[in-house]
Structures are given as C-alpha cells and as structure tokens.
Amino acid sequence: MSSTALGAEKAIIFISDAHEKFYYEKLKEVRYQDVYHKALVYCLGISDDTRRNIYSIYDFKTGCVKTECLHEGWQTSGSLKVVRMAFNLYCNGTPSV
C-alpha cells in the first residue's frame, strides 16, 4: 500500500505551464526542499499576480514570509486568498501583520 503523501508527490497538478515553470524554478531558490517550502511555492505559483510579486511575498535569503505584502496595492481579492493559503501551509497558520 502506498502512502498518500508519496502518491500526491508523484501527481502534481499545475493549472498552467507558467505555474509549473514557476514551481520548479523557485523551488531551487528556497532554503529547503521540504513539504512546507513545496506547498508555499506551489500556492504562490497559482496566481499570475503572486508569481509576478514573489519577492514582495517571500524573502528567499532569510526564509521568512513578508506579511506586509497583504496590504500592498497590487493585491486583489484572489491573490490575497492565495497568499493567505500559502502562509497558512508554510507557517501552520497565517502570521499576523
């Protein structure tokens, strides 16, 4: 019997070619290749807005999310949901601003 987590790892579903490209490129830049970073990068790759503003959302050098991005002008209702979901998966709960 195979593990659900292992099965999910083999069948990553991307919403577009841009999403897939973003995932594999940014996964190389994050500090660790663990499930938390994979979830963060996957989620932030869903939206064109979050892909475009990745450096406003996540600090690749420190490994910290930038909660102040939740108040930036480029955010839309959809991108806010994506960022909050990514933060929730990465930090085990959305960090406070």
Query: In Å, how far from its chain's centre is CA 16?
Result: 15
Going by pLDDT thresholds of 50, 70 and 90, the confidence category of residue 94 is low
Q: Is the pTM of this model over 0.85?
A: no
Alpha-carbon distance 23 to 19, whole Å?
6
Alpha-carbon distance 30 to 62, whole Å?
9
Please state whether 21 falls in left (phi above 0), alpha (psi between -120 and 50) or beta. Answer: alpha
pLDDT at residue 3 is higher than 50: no
Is the distance from CB of 58 to CB of 87 less than 8 angstroms? no
Burial class (CB in 10 A: 0-12, 13-18, 19+), 50: buried
- Mean pLDDT (the chain, rounded): 88
